[in-house]
Amino acid sequence: MGIRKVAETLLDRAKLGLFGFGKVFSRPKYAIFGIFCVILIAYILSFWQNGSGNWQLLCSGLPFSSKLEVLGRVFVTMGDNFTSLWGISIILLALLQGIVITQLVFTWRHREKNATLDGASTGGIGAILGFIALGCPSCGIGLLTPILSAVAGASAVAMAETISQIFTIIAFGLLIFTILRLGYIDYVLASVNNRKEKHAKSN
């Protein structure tokens, strides 16, 4: 099989993957579940966006009302994310993760467990890399800097930031790949279900 043929096959699968994505989210219950997942993940990423400061406040001796204010301010952070490129990247990451989770649920409910596990492993790696790079950048740099210091010395911090950016690109790539892959499977599942429903009505 030539390179052109492989490219055409991959492109066709990607198109069907988008159709499958559309079929899943055209169902109201999955669309609502997906929106909930996106909001929840965006909240979690925004909570850790500036490191562990919010968590330390929650674990401190602050009054309960003050802790509720800390949790409430995270929603303000979520809104502020739309005003910067970094923040928009966090929102996009949450969007992709929410889509993947919804597709995984759809695929699992249709008993395609192997495909679900494969998608969960690939999407999970993307989610972890995305959290390190975007959800908690100070955590990610903090983890990478000691390792790189042994190799690069004084330039470790700069290298850690560069690697963090690479992690971000890889995370987006893995999540998009997972969406298209699961979308193709969901397209096949949805098509089979539609045929079964039409057959049942005709009988």
pLDDT of residue 35: 93
Q: What contacts 168, CB < 8 A, 6 or more positions away?
A: 89, 129, 130, 133, 134
Q: Is the pLDDT of residue 201 over 80?
A: no
Q: Which letter does DSSP use for residue 26 in this model?
A: T
CA–CA distance, 185 with 180 (Å, rounded to integer): 9
Provide the whole-model pTM.
0.74
Average pLDDT of the chain?
Answer: 74
Q: Is the pLDDT of residue 140 over 70?
A: no
pLDDT of residue 142: 47
- Tokens read off for 193: 């279900």
pLDDT of residue 141: 47
pLDDT of residue 194: 63
- In contact, 180 and 12? CB cutoff 8 Å: no
Closest CA to 12 of 187, 178, 195, 171: 187
Pick the residue with more confidence: 41 or 151? 41
- In contact, 130 and 93? CB cutoff 8 Å: yes
Distances (CA, A) of 176 to 59, 128, 132: 36, 14, 18
- Tokens read off for 142: 């903090």
Q: Where are the domains of the chain?
A: 7-196
pLDDT of residue 32: 94
Q: How confident is the model at residue 196 (pLDDT cuts 50, 70, 90)?
A: low
Distances (CA, A) of 60 to 63, 66, 67: 9, 10, 9
Average confidence (pLDDT) over 138-158: 50
- In contact, 50 and 138? CB cutoff 8 Å: yes
CA–CA distance, 113 with 80 (Å, rounded to integer): 39
User: b/e for 152-178, b at 16 or more Cβ within 10 A?
Assistant: eeeebeebbeebbeebbeebbebbbbb
pLDDT in tens, 33-87: 999 999 998 888 888 777 667 778 888 888 888 888 888 888 888 888 888 887 8
